[in-house]
Amino acid sequence: MSTINLNNIPDDIDLSDIRSEIDCIDNQILELFIKRMHACEKVAMVKKRDGTPIFNPEREQEILDRVEKEGGEFGSGARTMLATLIDISSTRQQMLLYGEDGKLRKKFMTAGSELKGSKIACQGTVGAYSHLAAKQFFGDGVEPMFFAQFNDVFDAVTEGYTDFGVLPIENTTAGAVDDVYDLLTRHGFYIVGETDVDVNHCLLAPKGAKIEDIKEVYAHPQALSQCARYIQRHGFETNEYSNNAVAAKNVARWNDPTKAAIASSVAGKKFDMEILEKDIQDIDGNQTRFIVISKNMVIRNGADKISLTFSLPHRTGSLYRVLSRFAANGMNIFKIESRPLKGQNFQYRFYLDFNGSVHDEKVCSLICSLSTEMSDFKFLGNY
């Protein structure tokens, strides 16, 4: 219940007077906030002297429970406010305690700034969109090694057959490529670059085939999703393939006028196929974002995008508390994905992209703080 009856407000209450009162209270809160931060800095000094960890979840839980209880009807808001203060304090203590000595900080400081190596792995075959992405990122002179599956690309980099892998991670129409997200976490690789490729799907068939002959289409599930309305309009039967260009290659080899593939015009020309129709995707401006992966952390000059992944306990406000720390430090989060954790009901892994550089002290401190507080935290790259 509210402590104020909104239907019985005295006429002598003036809005400007109330605002002045709030300004005065805000100034007091600011003074107390600064005092609290100075006290937290002293706590950091004692923790450094005694070797005590920054994160103390038991004490934090006790404080938040007490505040919520004593806050009465405003208990939930009071808890949220104090939780944010605790998180800001933890980040400040992380910066003071570890400075240049933190494990992750050292990795940032020793990371290479150039992509060294020329052997590239892609999934699919010549003419695949991943092939186009590799050429777009590394230059027309690159000749990638091709592998059948996404996990084969990761294995090639793991075994040292190639220096880098180029893989799709997101499409503007069909969304995230979940398998790549999962493999990225499992292998512990770094993202060292990215490039966006315009996706202009074509309906490809053996020479002499006509569109009215087509009964079946073959393509990667993402491509089938991106052309769903076109496929439905023509009543085609769909067949999923590991890669669009591989589908085109096989359709050309089968030489069956009732079968077609959805792939790029480059693939059509490569396999000497009939391009029955161009730009059959449902939405114009369709793009796929490709990432470049490496076993080694590389942070090139001018890198301004950071990717992280972490899991959180299934607890009210846990995600909000993490995201609020980015807002408190003035950082712009522009993408967040969630993936269910296998074998753990209603538990999720989050993937987060935001603007920043690890060479910015605020950004570095926040990332290092999160890495020490979360048992399942991974820095994916600054690129």
Cβ atoms < 10 Å from Cβ of 19: 10
- Residue 25: CB atoms within 10 Å: 10
3-state secondary structure of 179: helix
With the C-alpha atoms ordered 368, 370, 375, 376, is the resulting torsion angle positive or negative? negative
The one catalytic residue among 91, 125, 173, 288: 288
Do 284 and 172 contact (CB within 8 A), yes or no? no
Q: What residue type is 265 in one-letter code?
A: S
Cα 218 from Cα 207, distance rounded (Å): 16
How wide is the angle at C-alpha 62 spanned by C-alphas 57 and 67, nearest 5°?
Answer: 125
**Residue 288 annotated in active site:** yes
Handedness of CA 167, 170, 171, 173 (dihedral sign): positive
Which among 146, 236, 290, 326 is annotated as catalytic?
A: 290
DSSP, collapsed to helix, strand or coil, labels residue 220 as coil
Angle 200-202-206 (CA atoms, 0-180°, nearest 5)? 155
Which residues are part of the catalytic machinery? Answer: 288, 290
